[in-house]
C-alpha cells in the first residue's frame, strides 16, 4: 500500500499516541538538559582559545542537534509505551476471558445434578534415582448431587470400585474380593476431603466434581494464560493454563453449550522432577442420558471385610512402585 493509500489512524489511536508523546517528551528532555550542561562545560574550556563566532556557531549547532535527538527519542519512547500498553491490555483481556470461560464451566458443572463419564488417567511418580514413571488407569464416574457417587478404576495394578450413598462409603477391591466401609455423612465435597486427607485415596478428578469448581481452584491462582484452542478425543476445546505457588495446572474445556472439562493436568512444582497428573474425560452424559443408579452397595459373595489398618499403604501404588519410592529393590 502506498503512502497516499494508507488508512488514517483511528481517533482513539491518535489520542493514545498524543498522550504517550506528551508523557515521554519531558522525560527525554532531561537527557537534553544533561547533555547541554556537558556541552556548556566543554565550551567553557574552548573559551580561552576559540574565537567568539566559532564558539557561538558551535553552541547553536549543538542545541539544534540535541533537540532533534530528544524529539526522536521521545517519539521512540512513545511508540514503546503504546506497544507495551497494547500488549498489557491484550494480556489482561485474555486473562479475563479465560477466567470467564472457566467460571462458565464451573457454573455448568454445578447445574448438572446427574453426571456420568469415562476417564483415563496417568499419574507420574519420581523414584529415588530421579527417573519419572507413569501409572495409567481408566474408569467411570456416576454422581447425583449433592451426596451420591459411584466410581470404578482399573489398570495393570488395580481393579477397584467406590460407592457413596450420602452416609456410608464403601471401597471394594474386586481382584482381592475384599471391601472396606466407613460412615462419612455429608456431601460429595466432604467425601473428597475425607478420601484425600484421611484415607489417602483421592477421588478421581475431585477438583472438577465440587459444587464450586471456580471458587476451589481460582483462589490461589497468580497467573493465567489463554492458549487458544485444542482438540481432545475429537472435541474442540478452549485451552487455559493457571499457576499457583505450589502447582501449575491446565484445563481443556469443551466449546459450545456443554462446557465440560475434557482434560485436566496438574504439575506438582514442590516435588522433585515436577511430576504430573493427567485426566482425560470422555463419553460425557448428563440428566436423562445417565442410566438410573441407586448407589447402594452389596458385598460380593465370600468377600472379606477389612478394618482401617488393613487397607494397603500408599493408596493404589503396586508393590514394585512402593519399593522404588522407599529405595528398596
Average pLDDT over the chain, rounded to whole?
Answer: 81
pLDDT tens string 228-261 = 999 999 999 999 999 999 999 999 999 999 999 9
Give this prediction's pTM.
0.70
Give Cα separations from 44 to 2, 39, 64, 325 (angstroms): 50, 9, 19, 78
Percent of the chain with pLDDT over 70: 67
Q: Residue 39 is inside which H or E element, if any?
A: helix 11-46
Instruction: List, in order, residues 6 or more apart from 125 with CB less than 8 Å away.
Output: 132, 133, 134, 135, 275, 317, 321, 324, 325
Write down the pLDDT at residue 13: 46
Strand 304-305 relative to strand 276-286, pairing:
unpaired
Write down the pLDDT at residue 156: 78
pLDDT tens string 66-125 = 556 555 555 554 445 444 444 444 455 589 999 999 999 999 999 999 999 999 999 999
Q: 25-29, 94-98, 264-268: lowest mean pLDDT where?
A: 25-29
β-strand partners of 281? 119
Write down the pLDDT at residue 249: 98
Which residue in 153, 159, 156 sits closest to 135, CA to CA? Answer: 156
Distance of CA 261 to the CA centre of its chain: 13
Residues 99, 218 contacting (CB under 8 angstroms): yes
- Which residue ranges make up each domain of the chain? 9-101, 112-326
Write down the pLDDT at residue 311: 84
What is the second-level CATH architecture of the domain 112-326?
Clam (2.50)
Residue 59 phi/psi, 5-degree rounding, is -65, -45
Q: In what order do the strands lie in the sheet with 304-305?
A: 223-232, 235-243, 247-254, 261-268, 276-286, 114-126, 132-144, 148-155, 158-164, 168-173, 178-183, 304-305
309: pLDDT strictly greater than 50: yes
Residue 311 phi/psi, 5-degree rounding, is -70, 140
132: pLDDT strictly greater than 50: yes
Amino acid at each position: 500500500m502506498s503512502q497516499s493509500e494508507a488508512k488514517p489512524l483511528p481517533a482513539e489511536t491518535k489520542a493514545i499516541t498524543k498522550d504517550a508523546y506528551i508523557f515521554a517528551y519531558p522525560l527525554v528532555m532531561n537527557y537534553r538538559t544533561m547533555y547541554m550542561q556537558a556541552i556548556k562545560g566543554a565550551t567553557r574550556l574552548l573559551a580561552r582559545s576559540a574565537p567568539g563566532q566559532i564558539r557561538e556557531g558551535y553552541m547553536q549547532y549543538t542545541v539544534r542537534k540535541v533537540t532533534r535527538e530528544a524529539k526522536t527519542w521521545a517519539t521512540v519512547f512513545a511508540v514503546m509505551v503504546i506497544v507495551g500498553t497494547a500488549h498489557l491490555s491484550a494480556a489482561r483481556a485474555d486473562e479475563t476471558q479465560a477466567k470467564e470461560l472457566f467460571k462458565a464451566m464451573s457454573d455448568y458443572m454445578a447445574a448438572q445434578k446427574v453426571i456420568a463419564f469415562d476417564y483415563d488417567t496417568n499419574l507420574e511418580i519420581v523414584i529415588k534415582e530421579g527417573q519419572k514413571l507413569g501409572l495409567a488407569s481408566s474408569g467411570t464416574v456416576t454422581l447425583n448431587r449433592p451426596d451420591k457417587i459411584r466410581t470404578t478404576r482399573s489398570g495393570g495394578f488395580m481393579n477397584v470400585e467406590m460407592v457413596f450413598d450420602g452416609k456410608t462409603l464403601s471401597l471394594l477391591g474386586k481382584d482381592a474380593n475384599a471391601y472396606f466401609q466407613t460412615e462419612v455423612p455429608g456431601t460429595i465435597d466432604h467425601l473428597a476431603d475425607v478420601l484425600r486427607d484421611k484415607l489417602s485415596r483421592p477421588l478421581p478428578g475431585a477438583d472438577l466434581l465440587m459444587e464450586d469448581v471456580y471458587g476451589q481452584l481460582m483462589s490461589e491462582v497468580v497467573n493465567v494464560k489463554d492458549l487458544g484452542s485444542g482438540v481432545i478425543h475429537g472435541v474442540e476445546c478452549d485451552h487455559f493454563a493457571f499457576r499457583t505457588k505450589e502447582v501449575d495446572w491446565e484445563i481443556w474445556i469443551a466449546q459450545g453449550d456443554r462446557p465440560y472439562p475434557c482434560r485436566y493436568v496438574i504439575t506438582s512444582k514442590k516435588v522433585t522432577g515436577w511430576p504430573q497428573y493427567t485426566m482425560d474425560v470422555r463419553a460425557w452424559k448428563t440428566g436423562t442420558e445417565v442410566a438410573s443408579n441407586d448407589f447402594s452397595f452389596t458385598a460380593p459373595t465370600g468377600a472379606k471385610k477389612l478394618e482401617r489398618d488393613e487397607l494397603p499403604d500408599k493408596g493404589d501404588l503396586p508393590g514394585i512402585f512402593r519399593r522404588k519410592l522407599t529405595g528398596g529393590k
